[in-house]
Amino acid sequence: MTPEAEYPALEPGQFDADTAQPVPRAQLSRRARAGLWLLRIFAVIVSAMVVYTFVSQLHG
Partner 1 sequence: MVNMSAAAPPLTPEDAARSRDRGRVHRARLGGRRWHLLWLLAGPGILAMLGENDGPSMVSYAATGATYGVGFFLPFIVVTFAMAAVCQELCMRVGAVTHRGYGQLVLERYGPVWGWFAAGDLLLTNLVTLIAEFVVIRIGLAYFGLGAPVAAAAGAGLVICTLSGGRYWRWERIVLGLAVFNGLFLVAAVMTHPHWASAGRALVTLTPFPGGSRTTLLLLVASTIGATVTPWMVFFQQSASADKGLTTADLRYGRLDTVIGAALAAVFGCGAFLVGAVLQARGGAGLLGLAGAGFPDALARVSGHAVATVFALGLVEAGVVAVLTISASTAYAVGECVGVAHSLNSPPRRAALFYGANITVALIAAGVILIPGAPLLAIALNANVLATVLLPVTLVFIIMLANDRQLMGRWVSSRATNWVAIVIVAFVALCGAAYGIDSFLQATHLISGA
- The site for partner 1 (CB under 8 A) is made up of 1-3, 6-7, 9-11, 13-20, 22-26, 28, 36, 39-40, 42-43, 46-47, 49-54, 56-58, 60
- Least distance (Å) from partner 1 to the CB of residue 1? 7
Between 17 and 30, whose beta carbon lies closer to partner 1?
A: 17
Q: Which amino acid is at 36?
A: L
Q: Which amino acid is at 55?
A: V
CA distance 31 to 28: 8
Give the three-class secondary structure for 1: coil
**Residue 27 Cβ vs partner 1, minimum distance, rounded to whole Å:** 10
Rounded-to-integer distance, Cα 47 and Cα 19, Å: 34
